[in-house]
Amino acid sequence: MEREEIQKRLKKELDKNRYEHTLGVEFTCQALAMRYGYDLDKADLAGLLHDSAKRFEDPVMLQKCLDRNIPVTAEEERDPSLLHAKLGAWMAEHKYEVDDPEILSAITCHTTGKPGMSLLNKILYVADYIEHNRAFPGVDQARDIAQVSLDRAV
């Protein structure tokens, strides 16, 4: 599916704030990809789709994961909001026709991280945290660190 079509669908499916956050993460992924020499198109697509499952309420996300045989941990069962990453990766593959395992991996771990993260995993993980719509104590410091060392930012 073409990027423009994905963006149109997300604009309809996500609430205004989530959509604005999505565009912020997409932009930040591109900036970090440029900074660290990563493929801009892959970073863009990962950023665009990272929160595609956030449109669902927690109980719905949990049921969708169970219905699709997406593994659910005890922690995720207690806090189903964590499942948006796994369900988002499933949606990226099955609804938005993404077949790149690196993009799917980045979406899957963009909230919790994981050992041995790839460059794209790190880019999306950090971009989600520092995108321009975020406003919390320490975010400017995190943005500065991300420009110097992606590993330190993670």
Helix axis angle for 101-108 and 119-130, nearest 10°, is: 40
Output the tens digit of pLDDT for each of the chain's 154 residues.
999 999 999 999 999 999 999 999 999 999 999 999 999 999 999 999 999 999 999 999 999 999 999 999 999 999 999 999 999 999 999 999 999 999 999 999 999 999 999 999 999 999 999 999 999 999 999 999 999 999 999 9
pLDDT of res. 45 = 98
CA pair distance 112, 146, nearest whole angstrom: 18
CA pair distance 125, 17, nearest whole angstrom: 19
Question: And the tokens for 36?
Answer: 């660290």
The answer to pTM > 0.85 is yes
HSE, side-chain direction, 13 A CA sphere, residue 27: 10
